[in-house]
Structure 1
Amino acid sequence: MTKSLDIIIWSKQGCSYCEEIKAYLQERHISYKTVDVTSNDNFRDILDIKYGVRHVPVVEIGSSETGIYRAVTAIGLEHLQKALAVNLPSYA
């Protein structure tokens, strides 16, 4: 049985890198959820604890069924493309 993947984008308003990632996923009809950190530093604290970063975008790819997520924390679309190629080969 194939498990569905969830994609979560941690972003903030006015972030051009965040918008680039969202546009890339939308063009490929890949659904995602967004966590907006714009006015909530507590969310940045969560990123710091989980991944050691406070910047956005951070893209989590994983499964709510298993609770296992891998994060793309490096800035640049090429890092997301590599992660998608591993997790969603038909979309790369």
Structure 2
Amino acid sequence: MKELHEIINEVKDEKSFLDFAKALIKDLQAHEGKSVDELGFSGDWVNKDISGFLESAVAWAEGSDFGVGQEPALQSNKWKQFAVFLYCGKIYE
């Protein structure tokens, strides 16, 4: 099975965006009820509740010009840009 970062790099249209969203759901389900200490690696779900998830995604978007500052190609790939927004809801502190 592919890692989320591999799947997100393939996002280019509606179908690939939904494939990423489904993988994100599975990733959350795999981490539910586990602490970062139990998992022993970074990149886990920092924000498991919806308010923290959305606050972090918005903070990332505001701090990075919606990712364009980090990856200029996001300007022309809105599907990937929104997938990265969701991913950052998971990891951004």
Bigger helix share: 2
Fold shared per TM-score above 0.5: no
Which structure is higher in RCO with an 8 Å CA cutoff and minimum separation 6? 2
Normalising by structure 1, we get a TM-score of 0.30
Bigger strand share: 1
